[in-house]
Structure 1
């Protein structure tokens, strides 16, 4: 019987337990002090006992492709080599470390961030195919701005090679696993999705891109374990007819396991970058906080448009209400179909729920947003089978990140409870 404290093998790597910090946006960037910021963000989870720490989405090219402000780029071998300080620090605590590689494609800031577009007018989005009609309509209405460059076949291979080179730099810097950002409307998702991918070459089969990335990673990083998120577009609006069903996603996962991916992270969501990936309450505190209003206006092209985005956010919060462990059923279907470890994340909060999932729906369990409130959360979850994260899924941590603000908990009641637990010694370890 799988237990949270028991080790698990991913490829040739032994992860010391089955709890992981899922990828989050650390907002470290690449400037002076970036590696120190990453250490500050990630070390508490390692010190608290998490078996695996996933550094959040990092961009594999030197320009374009950032989906949000503050993302770190890993195209420069000198910068990544300095991350050895990070991996050494996390290894000292007994944790293993993954880096998530990303390119935003049509989701990049050059699409949606008005101020960034004005400052970088020469940037084009990388596109798998011509943007779908709903996105072109938003472009005509002025909410998005598309000037896409559809990748040629040769350029797709070049992009796969960039993923491989970044993986090689990371392996040399001591990262134990390579994690692809294969969902949330990033470019890997766009290759897999029939909503985005209407190519007529070999990459019209989106798995072929992940096959090419696998080969590039192996060429540059050897046998470092490789895992990826795999999306199911089950939360897409009914008007979107070309989408990935659960059955499609299970089939994609079978193929990826056959290609040689060492672990899989199935996640359900929409074809868009919306609240289907961060289900929970409308973040009223964040939207109405005066310190962020100028940043929202800069991002969305004025206060009126920012208000319309907030209104859409409110509507989505009704549609995508919080659902505990919302990916569990999809993970269970994938686990029944493949022989590699399956990782489950999304809406997992309770230790009792974790114990029920392990060995049934998945082989490892991850959390993301709860770490903004409790950086040392693993200490409680590993020690107490009745423990529960204090995060209330209000999303006040996430929305300000569009302004470049760091991801931190801003909800007083939650922070008060964290303070009480800290005073009681709940995060202390022997």
Structure 2
């Protein structure tokens, strides 16, 4: 029987327990306070005993590719070198930290964020192929600003090399491993997805892009532990006929494990960046926040368009209902097919449920469990959960997520949860941390 407090090895990196902080938007940017912001955001999780921290999606190119405001770029070796202050802080508490590398491709700010387009010279969106007709229609109707730049074969290899260089900088700065953002409509998912990928070169097989990134990382960072998400696009809208099935995801996972990837994170997602990523309640409080209305209008191109997105959010609440551990079945199928650790995240909120997935019922779905939004509600939640706590405070209300489109930092905005955390702090519930 495996429990949360058992250690685990990922590609030779010894992780002290089975709980990880899933990648989130830290909204730290690259300004003079960026590293301090990341330390403030991530060190509490390490101090509270989190076994492994995945720093959220960090962009490998000097321009373009950011899917949300204030994402951090890691193309500059001087900036990444200063992140050694973060890795040292995490290691001082006995935790491990991997850097998630990413590029948004068609999901970038240049596509959807009106204020960003006004403030900067649009650089277009890196595209795997000619975009699907649904996106072209949205562009003609004025909902997005589609400026696709279809990557040539040489440019694909150049982009893979950018991932490799960023990984090399990260290892030099003390990161313990690399995590690839291959879901949530990232560029890597776009290569894997038949919805986006209509190429006629070697990258028509999207796994080849991941293998090119692997080769570049090995060239620049050696045998650093390498993890990637593996998407099944089972949450795609019904009008999307071509998408990755669960069987496709299992096949991709098997190929990647055989190709030397050290751990896999199977996830059931859409072909779009929608609430399939953050399933739960409609974020009523966040949408109603009076201090954010102007920011929403600026982001979406006017109050009318912001209201349209708000309405879509309401529909998605029913389309993607709260389902604790929604990736568990896919994780179990992948784990049966591979011989590397499988990591499970997505709506996990209770210790008993987590340990059930790890195998206390004799049928393990995964080897490690992760949480994301709960760390916004309780930055030091492992001090409770690993010490026998039954449930985290997060209720998947999503009031933490919508404000991030306006550049706001990720934090819990639900008063009942904030008050309960304050009470737990007064009662010493988090005093088990170092």
Q: By how many angstroms is 1:416 displaced?
A: 1.2
TM-score of the two chains, using structure 2 as the length reference: 0.98
Q: Which deviates the most, 231-240 or 363-372? A: 231-240
Q: By how many angstroms is 1:3 displaced?
A: 1.5
Q: By how many angstroms is 1:117 displaced?
A: 1.3
Matched, 1:86 2:79: no
CA distance in structure 1 between the partners assigned to 2:307 and 2:241 by the alignment: 29
Query: Which segments of 5 or more consecutive residues in structure 2 lack a partner in the other structure?
Result: none
Q: By how many angstroms is 1:110 displaced?
A: 0.3
Which residue pairs with 1:309 in the alignment?
309
CA distance in structure 1 between the partners assigned to 2:131 and 2:430 by the alignment: 47
SS of the aligned residue for 2:20 comes to: strand
Which residue pairs with 1:150 in the alignment?
150
Which residue pairs with 1:421 in the alignment?
424
- After superposition, residues 118-197 of structure 1 pair within 5 angstroms as 118-197=118-197
CA distance in structure 2 between the partners assigned to 1:142 and 1:117 by the alignment: 14
- After superposition, residues 208-357 of structure 1 pair within 5 angstroms as 208-357=208-357
Figure out how many residues of one structure are paired with residues of the other and give that number. Answer: 429
CA distance in structure 1 between the partners assigned to 2:338 and 2:122 by the alignment: 44
Q: By how many angstroms is 1:119 displaced?
A: 2.3
Matched, 1:382 2:386: yes
Say if 2:384 and 2:432, in contact at 8 Å, map to a contact too.
no
CA distance in structure 2 between the partners assigned to 1:387 and 1:170 by the alignment: 35
Q: By how many angstroms is 1:279 displaced?
A: 0.3
Which residue pairs with 2:52 in the alignment?
52
SS of the aligned residue for 2:50 comes to: coil
CA-to-aligned-CA distance 1:102-137 (integer Å, 9 cap, x gap) = 000000000000111122344110000111011111
CA distance in structure 2 between the partners assigned to 1:278 and 1:92 by the alignment: 31
Say if 1:227 and 1:264, in contact at 8 Å, map to a contact too.
yes
CA distance in structure 1 between the partners assigned to 2:74 and 2:269 by the alignment: 27
Say if 1:110 and 1:120, in contact at 8 Å, map to a contact too.
no
TM-score of the two chains, using structure 1 as the length reference: 0.99
CA distance in structure 2 between the partners assigned to 1:291 and 1:124 by the alignment: 31
Which residue pairs with 2:108 in the alignment?
108
Q: By how many angstroms is 1:311 displaced?
A: 0.5
CA-to-aligned-CA distance 1:390-412 (integer Å, 9 cap, x gap) = 10101000000000000100000
Say if 2:110 and 2:122, in contact at 8 Å, map to a contact too.
no
The match for 1:405 among 393, 405, 408 is 408
CA distance in structure 1 between the partners assigned to 2:122 and 2:180 by the alignment: 27
Say if 1:342 and 1:364, in contact at 8 Å, map to a contact too.
yes
Matched, 1:394 2:397: yes
Q: By how many angstroms is 1:423 displaced?
A: 1.3
SS of the aligned residue for 2:227 comes to: strand
Which residue pairs with 1:369 in the alignment?
373
CA distance in structure 2 between the partners assigned to 1:73 and 1:56 by the alignment: 11
SS of the aligned residue for 1:358 comes to: helix
- After superposition, residues 21-40 of structure 1 pair within 5 angstroms as 21-40=21-40
Matched, 1:97 2:97: yes
CA distance in structure 2 between the partners assigned to 1:363 and 1:177 by the alignment: 17
Q: By how many angstroms is 1:429 displaced?
A: 1.3
Q: By how many angstroms is 1:269 displaced?
A: 1.1
Query: Which segments of 5 or more consecutive residues in structure 1 lack a partner in the other structure?
Result: none
CA distance in structure 2 between the partners assigned to 1:350 and 1:42 by the alignment: 22
Q: By how many angstroms is 1:322 displaced?
A: 0.5
Q: By how many angstroms is 1:267 displaced?
A: 0.3
CA distance in structure 1 between the partners assigned to 2:428 and 2:379 by the alignment: 14
